[in-house]
Amino acid sequence: MLRLMGLPSLTLNYCILCFLLVYAAASGVENENQKVVVCPFRSIYQFGASLHDTGNLIRVGAIGPTLPAARLPYGITFPGRPTGRWSDGLLIVDFIARAVGLPLLNPYLDKNASFTNGVNFAVTASTALDIGFLAQKGVVVPSITVPLSGQINWLKTYLSSSICAAPSDCKDRLKRSLFFVGEIGRNDITFALVQGRTIQEVAAFVPDITTSVINAVREVIQVGGRRIVVPGTFPLGCFPNLLSQFGTQDPKDYDELGCLRSINNLTIFRNNHLQQALGSLRKEFPDAVILYADYYAAFQSFLARAPLLGFHQNKLYMTCCGSGGGQYNYDRNKVCGSTGVISCPNPPQYIHWDGVHLTQKAHLAISQIVIPNILSRIQCF
């Protein structure tokens, strides 16, 4: 396993890139006629929610700096201080940036930051659907979040005020950029489930979630984006927050990995619906590269091999930073960052950081599956 701490950034970039190329060959991504080519990306633009937020939510109003991700133990593994990432360290988007030789993305709301190599627009707890739409479905969303449509508006403001001195400059920059739209839609589903909506009720507005994501991708293409990656949703039935709330005593309710079947089936339905819509969008924009990143399959693949990767066999579904003990060490009323809640001394042995988000080591394990697959399918312009 690649050691992250103590390596200079250039050495780390080189090591990750070499590892990814070797991994791609070993996993069947590369064959005699196909090699993984790392395109010369100029920038990365990220939309989404907490899985990719590098510090936006902690900068929202007066409440932001008081949120858990603004204080330790968040960031305890890397860089040793809180950054607004909802993890002990790096996220998937961080590993993506390093794999293509770019600096880590700064959050859009950090007005003192450099955005030369892209921007992170993702905001924790954000939804694919607008807050008003979800309210009509009886789902309450935190008012401080920024739905996907709002993040797209941020992109347009950024382009018009920051980097495009002339239309030709903007077109050239975006043509050589990589856009990630998501992973988003997870919160729409999770908020609804924990607030009492049935799986059938949630499934009924999955098409609306898909439409919102597709519309966002369409807008990205219309402003000049040409290489867009749209991740699917992780298997939500494998996460401690939902396992603790919806767990049963019936073994038939769980799959072979120990995850809740019904919630994972809902997630599969959501991902399949998204993939079908992306297929139609590719026909609408044949000159754009629109890729689906299968986070669901990547998570399951790594979960099945987790003990071999150094994760503790008996703690695959336990939170590192949590309270409540029991099977999952998760209590939604006393979460990581709350008074009296401490993190475990060995985060690299855990998949789950706080019951909703993953540890740095889990992000790395998933990245080792996802990134080579993305790079092997990206067309260089």
Residues 12 and 146: their CA atoms lie apart, in Å, by: 33
Q: Using only C-alpha atoms, what is the Rg of the chain? A: 20
For residue 233, the one-letter residue type is: T
Cα distance from N-terminal residue to C-terminal residue, the chain: 33
The residue annotated as part of the active site, out of 354, 363, 367, 376, is: 354
- Is 50 designated active site? yes
Does 354 participate in catalysis according to the annotation?
yes
Phi/psi of residue 258, nearest 5 degrees: 90, 20
Question: How many other CB atoms are found less than 10 A from the CB of residue 131?
Answer: 17
- Per annotation, catalytic residue among 43, 50, 244, 376: 50
Which one from 343, 357, 367, 376 is the annotated catalytic residue?
357
Burial label, 348 (beta-carbon count in 10 A; 0-12, 13-18, 19+): buried
- Cβ distance 347 to 88 under 8 Å? yes
Query: Is there a catalytic annotation at residue 357?
Result: yes
Which residues have a Cβ under 8 Å from the Cβ of 39 and sit 6 or more positions away?
100, 176, 178, 227, 375, 378, 379, 380, 381
Nearest CA among 182, 88, 195, 87 for reference residue 126: 182
Is the preceding peptide bond at 201 cis, omega within 30 degrees of 0? no
Strands (E), 101-224: 118-120, 177-181
Catalytic center residues: 50, 354, 357
